[in-house]
Amino acid sequence: MKKILAIFAFFLILRLLPYVNSPIPLGYDAGIYLYEFRLFPSLPLWDLAGFQPGLFAVVYPFTKIFNPESLLIPFSIISQIVLFFSVYFVSRKTFGEKIALINTSLFTVSLVQFRTYWFFYVKNTFALAILLPALYFLQKKNFLWSVIFAVALAYFHLPTFLIFLLILIILFFFDRKNLIFYLKVLIATLVFFFIYYLPTFNTTILPLLILVLKSIAPYRLITTGSLGTGGGTFYSIPISFLMTIFYLLFAIIGAYFLKKEQKARSFLIALVLLFLMIITNFAFSRRYFIPFDLFLIFFAGYGINYVFEKYKSYKDILPFYYIVLIIFIFAFVFRTSQPLISASNLNEIRNFEKEGYVLSTYKEDTAWLLGYTKLKVIAWNFGGENKYWTDSQWRSFFSNDPVSLKLKLLNKIPKPLYIYISDKTKPILSDVIYSHCLKKETPHFYQNICKGK
């Protein structure tokens, strides 16, 4: 118990470090979460594409007691804690205490997992914490708990639920001895799944389903002649693999020696399935590297234990191995954990209490504007207000076209119209800024005062 508590304390320190001198949520997804926390359950139609209500149903009672903004950081940290103990629980039940300690140590120092935390992928994190026990109970042939965790997964994060569903289908076809069990789990899960998703199918499932079907490798090869890029906001696949370099080989060793073990079958299928999804640029393939990294860690613990138990004369290397991992994670945290927005800029957005429309000129600003203002946000390829300009008109606005054309575009948007111009977009929009149509309201907010809608 002392060892796992010591690892947990170190884990918690790493997660709290970014907030020591900063109250700003990491990444930019926090703005979107805040927007949804405030509006749930009455979300706009555009926000329901691929929407999962699980996290918001859990948070909803708290939003009636606390300011939703004050819940952002605590729930992000809680999601990480839940995943930490999920890794420990499933590893201990599957491999024993020793490997569970190794796995939680690797999870703690994983660059990929810390970056997931930095991106503020709270739903993803909770979903991974649910996926591990879902697969464990599936492996143990426990019908009730398999269904409970599978349904919870479906209501928290559909892309992660897809992993579970594909694993279940694979087991159904290849584990003939337990075919009835898998069929019962599948039917029961889908019954509870469709209680919410069938009435909302066109808005929650269909857009995601079309995206998934179009991302299947044979379809893309036939229609485009290439595998595409997969998508999903995260590091590129080569960089992501590089970030696992310290335990990748151990994961391969662990997977190899566990390939015939019944207790690891579901997890091994998950590892291979995710690898194929990543290398074929499946939909959100970059984001699927996050669960892939988690399963690498799961097998790496076994691999490390196997290697150093077999070659005991090399056990003296282990302390140095852990020291290197600790050095790298500390360096990574200090170099990459800064918030994307400054406190002054966030306060400027938070305190801008005007109503009307706001044009977002930079991707990262969109989420902050959405969550922290009362304005209707107009952004390129995002949200329900992206209906006033075509793609070519958006490109024109950010191009070297005459300022007169850009002002005409602004006048197509209803009034009152404000434009948030960040420091990153000021240089390319200087002609608009200094035109007669824009009135400066704050350091970054401008109002379009020319005649129009």
* 353, 243: one domain: no
Average pLDDT, the chain: 90
Residues 224 and 371 in one domain: no
pLDDT single digits (tens) 143-181? 999 999 999 999 999 999 999 999 999 998 888 889 999
Q: Do 217 and 201 share a domain, yes or no?
A: yes
**Domain ends where: 292, 310, 336?**
336
- Within this chain, do residues 48 and 170 fall inside the same structural domain, yes or no? yes
Judge whether 294 lies within some domain. Answer: yes
Has residue 138 been placed in a domain?
yes
The pLDDT value recorded for residue 228 is 53
Q: Say whether pLDDT at 216 is over 70.
A: no
pLDDT band at 231 (very low <50, low <70, confident <90, very high): low
Whether residue 453 lies inside any domain: the answer is: no
pLDDT of residue 185: 96
- The predicted-structure confidence for 47-67, as pLDDT tens digits, reads as follows 887 789 999 999 999 999 999
The CA–CA distances, whole Å, from 362 to 249, 344, 345, 403 equal: 40, 17, 14, 19
Domain limits at 442? 343-448
Residues 386 and 304 in one domain: no
Q: pTM (2 decimals)?
A: 0.92
- The answer on pLDDT for 14 being more than 80 is yes
Q: How many domains does the chain have?
A: 2
Residues 401 and 303 in one domain: no
Q: Which of 336, 354, 384 is the last residue of a domain?
A: 336
Residues 162 and 310 in one domain: yes
Considering 271, 306, 336, which residue would you say is the last residue of a domain? 336
| Shared domain check, 350 and 324 | no
Cα dist from 301 to 225, 249, 250, 258, 412, whole Å: 40, 11, 7, 12, 58
Neighbour tally for 266: CB within 10 Å? 24
Same domain, 395 and 306: no
Same domain, 86 and 222: yes
Query: Does one domain contain both 278 and 405?
Result: no
Average pLDDT over residues 94-108: 96
| Alpha carbon distance 424, 276 (integer Å) | 37
pLDDT-derived band of residue 224, with 50, 70 and 90 as boundaries? very low
